[in-house]
Amino acid sequence: MPSSAAYLVPALAVGVPVGIYALFLGLVSIPYIQRFAVYAHKVNTLWWPPHNPNRPERWGFAKNQVTPFPLQTLDHHTLYAWHILPLGIYTRNEEALSAQDRSVTNGFVPDITTTLNFKLLRHDPEARLVLYFHGNAGHITQSIRPRSFHALTSVSSKIHVLAIDYRGFGLSTGSPTEEGLILDARAAVDWATKVARVPAERIVLLGHSLGTAVAAAAGEHYCCSTHRFGCSASDNGSGTENGSDEDHVSSTMGRREPLEFAGILLVAGFSSLPTMLSSYAIAGWLPVLRPLSFWPWLLGKVMSRIVDKWPSADRLTRLTKSAKTDGKKLNLTLIHARNDWDIPYCEDDKLFKGAVKGLVEAELGIGTVYGDGRDYEYEGGERVREEEEQEVERCVENLLSKEKGKRTVERWMGDGTSRKERDRAAVTTWEDEGVCIRQELWPYGGHNNLMFYAPVPMAVMRAFGLVEQTESTRY
């Protein structure tokens, strides 16, 4: 007879990992813990004095090239922000800029409008401004962020950068939520357009990783003429009680003249948080929800517990649809690396499809206006909605299968002799009246490096019209 140990060892070998995984799923179903894991905002190096962001010179910036300052949100949070001067403008004004004394406030500037840096942005009719929305974890100076700031501000003497730490990140107050981060993006756009008075046509919204969801939401908010300010999270997304300032701000209805930004640039984006997490693996090898794919009903239950949805593909649908319907210009660029170990590049295809879907909906004259189902609050409305959605899906699939290849330029990187998929770079340009959707898939660059390699700075230059889009500048 086999001993009990013969059964115990295999049972433990299977039971312990399953139990740990079940405990993990239970913990992350709690909104506070889930947001702590998703945003990773407490994973930073602020405890280490050399990483004090009020000393930008430690990351290779010239003295007073960077101005750390506070931004106020509509719900009364304070965000930590950097305004970074382009290197060319700094060089021409180096003596006056470096002479500014910031020792009293240890480098932090409570009122940026008193600085020469601010005046060089506000009073220059040629100034361009990149609103930089970073990914999760860390703070404004961690990881590749300083290098990407250098790349953007050295490529042209006209390009300024405004970067923010979202609420709960770095030295910013509060805790991150979907609605909260959208309010943070609005604070950045409002500061740029109302305080610095930079016209929207001289502003690019640049998002990386998590920041792509923030930039897409900001683009939807400002570029759609009719929009319900809010998002679809199971607990209203704000983490606040009903009647609070944030809940009031986020549920406001309004109609305004849509803005036309120089461009919206999404790097290493994802279609929605639940969809991305269903196939996500930490560091590219430790799956999060992928094991549940064998039990679709269980996967659906777990995905329904994700409180911050970040439906970027749906937001791009409404964005492109509104632009085409209103006859507005929209320049949308999607960039992804095929060897991205964090967010797979197939997510970029979903974003591209969502953007094209908006053009189809506008052409067919169907779909929701507000995106929250209120247009279907009549008898049989849900059935009509499903039929319209199916019709649009068929049209989009047929259109992409017939047209996307015709609108794509390919090039194999390396020595040029390899024809393997992993070496293929592709640029797809989809233009429809004033709407231009551009997708760039690069074979290399991983999750982070495209931010300071040529693709992103060149895409920013292209959006601002500082380089001519010719065959030689497509790569």
What pLDDT does 306 receive? Answer: 86
The pLDDT of residue 469 is 46
Q: Which residue is it, tokens 């107050």?
A: 173
Calpha distance 427→35 (Å, rounded): 35
β-bridge partners, 459: none
Per-residue pLDDT at 210: 96
Sorted by where each starts, the structural domains of the chain and their CATH numbers stand as: 40-371+378-467 (3.40.50.1820)
Closest CA to 39 of 210, 171, 179: 210
Angstrom distance (rounded) from CA 302 to CA 123: 52
Report the alpha-carbon distance of residue 113 to residue 82 in Å, rounded.
13
Distance (Å) of CA 306 to CA 22, 38, 177, 314: 16, 10, 12, 17
Q: What is the pLDDT of residue 22?
A: 66
What type of residue sits at position 186?
Answer: R
Q: Model confidence over 263-291: pLDDT tens digits? A: 999 999 999 998 887 776 665 666 666 66
The model carries a pTM of 0.86
**8 Å CB contact between 262 and 202:** yes
- Whether 461 contacts 155, CB under 8 Å: yes
Query: From CA 231, how far away is CA 314, in angstroms rounded?
Result: 11
In degrees and rounded to multiples of 5, residue 322 shows phi and psi of -65, -40
What pLDDT, on the 0 to 100 scale, is given for residue 370?
Answer: 45
| pLDDT value, residue 412 | 78
| Confidence (pLDDT) at 475 | 43
Task: Write the CA distances from 472 to 102, 241, 466, 468, integer angstroms.
Answer: 45, 54, 15, 9
Give which of 470, 396, 397 is closest to 427, Cα–Cα. 470
Helix (H) or strand (E) holding 159: strand 159-165
Q: Which of 399, 406, 369, 409 is nearest to 385 (CA)?
A: 369
Compute the 3-state secondary structure of the chain and give helix, strand, coil in percent, each to the nearest 5.
45, 15, 40
**Number of residues assigned to the chain:** 475
pLDDT, position 95 = 95
Beta-bridged to residue 321, according to DSSP, are: none
Task: Please report the pLDDT score of residue 16 as a whole number.
Answer: 60
In 3D, which of 352, 341, 338, 333 has the Cα closest to residue 413?
338
DSSP code of residue 62:
P
Q: How far apart are CA 379 and CA 398, in angstroms?
A: 31
Give the tokens for residue 54: 């009020």
**Could you say which residues of the chain have pLDDT below 70?**
1-28, 226-256, 280-295, 367-384, 414-419, 468-475
